[in-house]
Amino acid sequence: MRHLVYLAVLLGCLLGTAPLELFLGTRVYARPRRLALTLLPVLVVFVGWDVYAIAAGHWTFDPRHITGVRLPGRLPLDEVLFFVVVPVCAILTLEAVRAVRGWTVGDEPAADLDGAPARTDRR
């Protein structure tokens, strides 16, 4: 069972942030394109970094705590999942804070002061 420790931690992260999507309506999973565009740079940079570090002998993984499934570059599947799960949890947390605090970032639909959708035919 020790080989599932890494995955158990990742599952705990997902379970801990799942209520944010369900109860606060963060809509992180409802916008898959946006989520993928957010995750892509993280995956490219950190997977590349890990593959380099493993090849150079600077980085290793305790085989007792990973599944043993290795991808090209000897990168454990568990590590790639880490680079997906942790940013997703961070994004869920940020979006939950935004929802509770009412913070906007400019990608929300425009609205009048009373909350009604703004007219788009500005004249």
E strand or H helix that includes residue 84: helix 77-101
pLDDT at position 19: 94
Burial of 50 (0-12, 13-18, 19+ CB in 10 A): buried
- Reported in sequence order, the residue ranges of the chain that DSSP labels E, i.e. its strands, are 70-71, 75-76
Rounded average pLDDT over 60-67 = 90
Question: What phi and psi values does residue 35 have, to the nearest 5 degrees?
Answer: -65, -45
Please determine, for residue 121, whether its predicted confidence score (pLDDT) is greater than 90. Answer: no
Is the entire prediction scored with pTM above 0.85? no
Place 104 in a pLDDT band, splitting at 50, 70 and 90.
confident
pLDDT in tens, 1-16: 888 988 999 999 999 9
Q: DSSP label at 117?
A: B
**Cβ atoms of 50 and 59 closer than 8 Å:** yes
pLDDT at position 122: 42
